[in-house]
Amino acid sequence: MESNYTVGLDIGSQKIVVLIGEILANDDINIVGVGTAPSKGVDKGSVTNLDSVVESILIALKQAEDMADCRVSSVNLSISGSHIESINEAGTWAIDAHEVSPFDVESVIHNARSVKIRDDQRLLHVIPQEYSIDSQGKINNPIGLSGVKLKANVHLITCHNDLVKNLEKAVERSGLVIDQLIFSGVASSSAILSEDEKELGVCMIDMGSGTMDLSIYIAGSLQHSMVLDYAGNSVTNDIAIAFSAPPSSAEKVKVEYGSLNRAFVDNEELIELPSVGGRPARSLQRSILIDVIEPRYSELLTLVKTEIYKLNEKFVREGLKQQLAAGVVITGGAAQIEGLVEVAEEVFGNIQVRIGKPHNIRGLAADVDSPAYSTAIGLLRYKNDEFIGGEDAAPENRFASLFSKVKNWIKKEY
Ligand SMILES: Nc1ncnc2c1ncn2[C@@H]1O[C@H](COP(=O)(O)OP(=O)(O)OP(=O)(O)O)[C@@H](O)[C@H]1O
Ligand SMILES: [Mg+2]
């Protein structure tokens, strides 16, 4: 396949997506292949049935390959689930009054990421936040500057080893090699957030089917990553229970008639609950459907708010200031419900909320013009995490490959 194409494979709890695309010179993404398949054998980011996952991947893969008229050999793969953990660390490196070189940057990052992580966890991302030299902080790119001591702050994201192994197994059995493993929250953020929003402070929520991925950026850097185990599927389950309906019917009425905005719904409006197993269809008042949906969405958003509060307390303890001046950006399939912005603004109180969907897309843009494709698009956009490899290599051994990587080292666009 042509080497300028990148392929994203997003294994979600509801759908599996394969996107084939290329980054154009102006940073737009040209989509040339799209494949989707209902996700079977995945729950909340974990593989529950290997064969089913492989089957779904192969369906989506074939669709995308046929559309793009090419064969895919390797992919950027998303990963999510409540086993994702994040921590902020710092490292220092003596520069002894010479100019900071790429080697110094590599070394200080190496020291910052050398913290012991639990044996069952694997390091997924090492994302530079900021550098400081002696007493001067908030440096984006320290190369060429002088001082005595270089310090780097980094955001580390880890995942559970066994869970990622199962995902890797599914992808490898589908005949694919994994180029990069990327946390879905990081991928979605790179598809929908602007640099200005990250600078002002923003909380990105990818509300999917089984999980909500959170990424919180403050002063331009990623400060917190986590996954909550509830999302759109909880809403569907509530509908199924409230109306004694099978999940497939509940899902249908939610997508077709669901809303969070009572003002637009006529109290008398009746909707049809699709039947299953030959039973007759039933009608119900649409306003009752909203009475079921709204509290669950509010609860999901309140879970996020609690996390933001906890983080704020931690920041205050550490003497930092957390400001989310750009508010909250919600994406993912479940962000498509009508009236979400208003409900979210009420939950978060006095904070602006917008729905995020991928931008700057060309080619088959209409096929991916939805918040449900943020992660998959982000997998195409996300740039190489050069700091992840060579964990045990001494700085001297890593020197050889240094100059080819230099341009990627400095704080990148995430
Ligand atoms: N119009 C809509 N209104 C409300 N919810 C919707 C709508 N369309 C899709 N959804 C919900 O979005 C969810 C699927 O979102 P998405 O496609 O982002 O999930 P996923 O990536 O497969 O799952 P996850 O990221 O949780 O692993 C489902 O719960 C679905 O019911
Ligand atoms: Mg998803």
Domains of the chain from N-terminus onward: 85-159+388-409 (3.30.1490.110)
Average pLDDT, the chain: 90
Which of 46, 80, 209, 230 has most ligand 1 atoms within 8 Å of CB, for mutation?
209
Measured distance CA(127)–CA(190) in Å, rounded: 13
Residue 389, pLDDT score: 53
pLDDT-derived band of residue 274, with 50, 70 and 90 as boundaries?
confident
Measured distance CA(186)–CA(412) in Å, rounded: 12
Of 37-46, 208-217, 235-244, 380-389, which gets the smallest average pLDDT?
380-389
How many CB atoms lie under 10 A from the CB of residue 30? Answer: 17
State mean pLDDT over 127-145: 95
Q: Please, what sign has the CA dihedral across residues 239, 243, 249, 254?
A: negative
Measured distance CA(103)–CA(295) in Å, rounded: 53
CA 181 to chain CA centroid, Å, is 12
Own/partner pairs, 234-240, CB within 8 angstroms, 24+ separation: 234/296, 234/300, 235/293, 235/296, 235/297, 235/300, 235/334, 238/292, 238/293, 238/296, 239/289, 239/292, 239/293
Residue 264, pLDDT score: 81
pLDDT-derived band of residue 266, with 50, 70 and 90 as boundaries?
confident
Work out which ligand 1 atom sits closest to the CA atom of 44.
27
Q: How many angstroms separate the alpha carbon of residue 230 from the centre of ligand 1? A: 11
Ligand nearest the Cα of residue 239 is: 1
Of 99-108, 262-271, 337-346, which gets the smallest average pLDDT?
262-271
Residue 282, pLDDT score: 87
Measured distance CA(115)–CA(234) in Å, rounded: 37
Percentage of the chain lying above the pLDDT 90 cut: 80
Work out which ligand 1 atom sits closest to the CA atom of 13.
27
pTM higher than 0.85: yes
Q: Indicate whether 170 pLDDT > 70.
A: yes
Q: Indicate whether 201 pLDDT > 60.
A: yes
Give the β-pairing of 29-38 and 221-228: unpaired
State mean pLDDT over 62-82: 97
170 or 280: which leads in pLDDT: 170
Q: How many angstroms separate the alpha carbon of residue 372 from the centre of ligand 2? A: 7
State mean pLDDT over 360-374: 93
Q: Is 277 exposed, middle or buried (0-12, 13-18, 19+ CB in 10 A)?
A: exposed
Give the β-pairing of 121-133 and 149-160: antiparallel
